[in-house]
Amino acid sequence: TYDQSGTYDIILTAYSEDGCKNTIIQQGAITVYPAPDADFIADPEEALLTNPLVNFDATPTTNVTDSLYINWNFDDGSLSEENVFVVEHVFPDTGHYDVSLIAINEYGCIDTATHQVYIKADYALYTPNAFTPNNDGINDTFFPDGVGIAFEDGKFKFMVFDRWGELIFQSSSRSNPWDGIAHEKGGKEVVKEGVYVWKVIAETYDGKNITQKDAQVAGIVTVIK
């Protein structure tokens, strides 16, 4: 086993039964090519699901040469660009990801560096403050959106109330947003312009109930015709 790259001679010595010996030297018979030195920095190593972007930089730690081929594996099924030493990546979900950098030099020698990135659970609820239910195809409906929230029947409920506190709409599905009609009161037409109160009862994917302290789960929306 050779610890260093370089050219090495082979020396073969043969001994006969009567004690004679013969030595053959084959100069430069073995060439050990240098291996690439792969490594990188992940910044940050821990990120929240609401902002799961991580920057990776191999230039400070990897011997960058024109003949070096590199490839990234982000451990989430996505493909990376080849021969890019600085790259940013958005991870799709929470969890630990073993991110690998594979470096291959012109001699075909390979080195791999792996660092773990952790995307932590987080959640946020987003709602517009107004919408225009006039069937023009632009902002015709109203429904909360978010990150880390289980938009599933039984875990999510969206309600709208009029100024007297009466329920006029409710839904548990993104496919059924509020179209401005007071369905819970048997309405057929879009409600009057004005301010309406919305409220959400929601859970995270891990079963945590979201409260007003965690995220805005109640607010107002203005109907504009």
Task: Express each pLDDT in 37-71 by its tens digit.
Answer: 888 999 999 998 888 999 999 886 656 555 688 89
Q: How confident is the model at residue 146 (pLDDT cuts 50, 70, 90)?
A: confident
Does the structure show a pLDDT above 90 at 223?
Answer: yes
At residue 66, the pLDDT reads 56
Task: Express each pLDDT in 180-208 by its tens digit.
Answer: 999 999 999 999 999 999 999 998 877 77
Does the pTM of the predicted model rise above 0.75?
A: no
Q: Give the whole-angstrom CA distance, residue 22 versus residue 15.
A: 7
At residue 57, the pLDDT reads 93
Does the structure show a pLDDT above 70 at 212?
Answer: no
Dihedral sign for Cα 78, 81, 83, 85, please.
negative
Q: Are 84 and 62 in contact (CB under 8 A)?
A: no
Does the structure show a pLDDT above 90 at 147?
Answer: no
Q: Give the whole-angstrom CA distance, residue 27 versus residue 60.
A: 38
Share of the chain above pLDDT 90, in %: 59
Q: Which domains does the chain have, with CATH numbers?
A: 1-32 (no CATH), 41-120 (2.60.40.10), 124-223 (2.60.40)
From the number of C-beta atoms within 10 Å of its C-beta (0-12, 13-18, 19+), residue 140 rates as: middle
> Which of 152, 126, 142, 209 minimizes the C-alpha distance to 178?
142
At residue 100, the pLDDT reads 94
